[in-house]
Amino acid sequence: MAPPPDAPFLRACRGERGPTVPVWFMRQAGRSLPEYRELRGEGSILDAIRIPDVATEITLQPVRRYGVDAAILYSDIVTPVASIGFGVDITPGVGPVVERPFTSAADLDRLRPLDPEADLPYVLETVHNVVAELGDVPLIGFAGAPFTVASYLVEGAPTRTWTKTKALMHTDPDLWDALLDRLADQALATLRAQVGAGASAVQLFDSWAGALTPSDYERFVLPASAKVLAGLADLGVPRIHFGVATGELLGLMHQAGAEVVGVDWRVPLDTARSRLAPDVALQGNLDPALVVAGWEATAEGARDVLRRNDGHPGHVFNLGHGVLPETDPEVLEQLVALVHSEGRADGQPSLLDAGTEP
């Protein structure tokens, strides 16, 4: 029961005119939903992800409530490394914490190749279950990009400065490249398996890539992310590539091999487009904090995003980063309705067809 190829979300990813502007939200499944908090209770997120019935229900909750145009798999970017026993857990209120951080070549041995069928059977079961329930709505699979996963393994805990990570890449580039190559293989394996199980698109989350200079990104990060994205090309599913504070990296993140570039709220969509070829699809980019500020701020901000997109059919509406826990779900519900009713996906001749049509 695959969703039809003309589902609005898939059309927008391909830059094709559709009936409306599709919308979904990063972290739409999560702490902002009372039904999520009720189901999850206490305990590690990683445990919930390991129970397909729970992960399936959590993935479906926001689709039911909001009527979004895509579901996103309930999982985590550290799920693959955790599944092969690297010793990662997610501490509530803190984030991923690593028992023994990655410091030397010996730690490469702790990163054996991922076998998704054997290591992540629960993830694939969740994908199967979700796709069976979703019907016409596409499921987006995802993985953490090699850099962002590496930064967790090297730092050992969330950081604001990424000093250990940057020190490793600059002082031992061979070891860094070997680490990123293994993580690229893992991301590729899990994404291929998710698509094999029914996901209609993928998002590669390089959440913290924006901490890097463009030259460091190009030398130390892009090759591994390009390996992941190139390895998916034959599957024919849209590839979305996202990170925060990546205004200076948008061109490189597209060049890595993505049909859709995710844009955080800092970069107005028209500015983002000016840094990319006119046919690149964009995803974004309402400031998630505006949604917390209430409906008026949300509506005004959403209209500004739509105005700056100017009817370009290659637009997947989203927030500029994940839904914040303090978010009122009713505001998101109204936001979906606004995007569906006011969004234009008619295609601007000035943007799309310049030079090809009279």
Which residue of 103, 163, 274, 350 would you call a contact of a copy of itself, by CB under 8 A? 163
Taking the complex as a whole, how short is the minimal distance between the CB of residue 138 and a copy of itself, in angstroms?
29
User: Are 156 and 101 in contact, with CB atoms under 8 Å apart?
Assistant: yes
Q: Is position 356 an interface residue for a copy of itself (rule: CB under 8 A)?
A: no
Q: Is position 138 an interface residue for a copy of itself (rule: CB under 8 A)?
A: no
Which residue of 23, 150, 267, 336 would you call a contact of a copy of itself, by CB under 8 A? 267
Which residue of 104, 171, 341, 356 would you call a contact of a copy of itself, by CB under 8 A? 171
Burial class of residue 255, CB neighbours in 10 A (0-12, 13-18, 19+)? middle
Q: In this complex, which beta carbon is closest to a copy of itself, that of residue 177 or of residue 248?
A: 248
Q: For strand 88-91 and strand 95-98, is the pairing parallel, antiparallel, or unpaired?
A: antiparallel
Q: In this complex, which beta carbon is closest to a copy of itself, that of residue 268 or of residue 343?
A: 268
Task: Fill in the amino acid letter for 147.
Answer: F
Q: Is position 215 an interface residue for a copy of itself (rule: CB under 8 A)?
A: yes
User: Are 99 and 88 in contact, with CB atoms under 8 Å apart?
Assistant: yes
Planar angle of CA 14, 16, 18, nearest 5 degrees = 125
Chain positions 275 to 314 lying near a copy of itself, rule: CB under 8 A, are 287-290, 292-294, 296-297, 301, 304
What angle separates helix 173-196 from helix 163-171, to the nearest 10 degrees? 110
Q: Is position 37 an interface residue for a copy of itself (rule: CB under 8 A)?
A: no
Q: Residue 67, Cβ neighbours under 10 Å: how many?
A: 13
Q: In this complex, which beta carbon is closest to a copy of itself, that of residue 157 or of residue 293?
A: 293
User: Are 24 and 10 in contact, with CB atoms under 8 Å apart?
Assistant: no
Residue span binding a copy of itself (CB under 8 A) among the ranges 112-120, 245-253, 309-317, 339-347: 245-253
Q: Is position 206 an interface residue for a copy of itself (rule: CB under 8 A)?
A: no
Q: In this complex, which beta carbon is closest to a copy of itself, that of residue 197 or of residue 211?
A: 211
Q: Is position 161 an interface residue for a copy of itself (rule: CB under 8 A)?
A: yes
Q: In this complex, which beta carbon is closest to a copy of itself, that of residue 128 or of residue 219?
A: 219
Which residue of 115, 326, 330, 346 would you call a contact of a copy of itself, by CB under 8 A? 326
Q: Is position 352 an interface residue for a copy of itself (rule: CB under 8 A)?
A: no
DSSP state of 92: T
Q: Is position 25 an interface residue for a copy of itself (rule: CB under 8 A)?
A: no
Token pair of 100 as six digits: 């023994």
Q: In this complex, which beta carbon is closest to a copy of itself, that of residue 49 or of residue 212?
A: 212
Residue span binding a copy of itself (CB under 8 A) among the ranges 19-27, 128-136, 266-274, 333-341: 266-274
Binding residues for a copy of itself, rule CB under 8 A, total: 35
31 is catalytic: yes
User: Are 187 and 204 in contact, with CB atoms under 8 Å apart?
Assistant: yes
User: Are 292 and 324 in contact, with CB atoms under 8 Å apart?
Assistant: yes
Residue span binding a copy of itself (CB under 8 A) among the ranges 32-40, 103-111, 182-190, 244-252: 244-252
User: Are 258 and 204 in contact, with CB atoms under 8 Å apart?
Assistant: yes
Q: In this complex, which beta carbon is closest to a copy of itself, that of residue 215 or of residue 356?
A: 215
What is the Cα–Cα distance from 56 to 36, expressed in whole angstroms?
11
For residue 317, the cross-strand partners are 23, 284
What is the Cα–Cα distance from 193 to 124, expressed in whole angstroms?
7
Q: Is position 170 an interface residue for a copy of itself (rule: CB under 8 A)?
A: yes
**Of 31, 219, 307, 344, catalytic:** 31
Token pair of 243 as six digits: 């990170």
Q: Can you give the C-alpha Rg of the chain in angstroms? A: 19
Token pair of 128 as six digits: 């199967």
160 is catalytic: no
User: Are 272 and 282 in contact, with CB atoms under 8 Å apart?
Assistant: yes
CA 50 to each of CA 75, 114, 117, 125: distance values in angstroms, whole numbers, following the listed order: 9, 16, 13, 10
Active-site residue set: 27, 31, 40, 76, 152
The site for a copy of itself (CB under 8 A) is made up of: 161-163, 166-167, 170-171, 210-216, 245, 247-248, 265-268, 271, 287-290, 292-294, 296-297, 301, 304, 324, 326
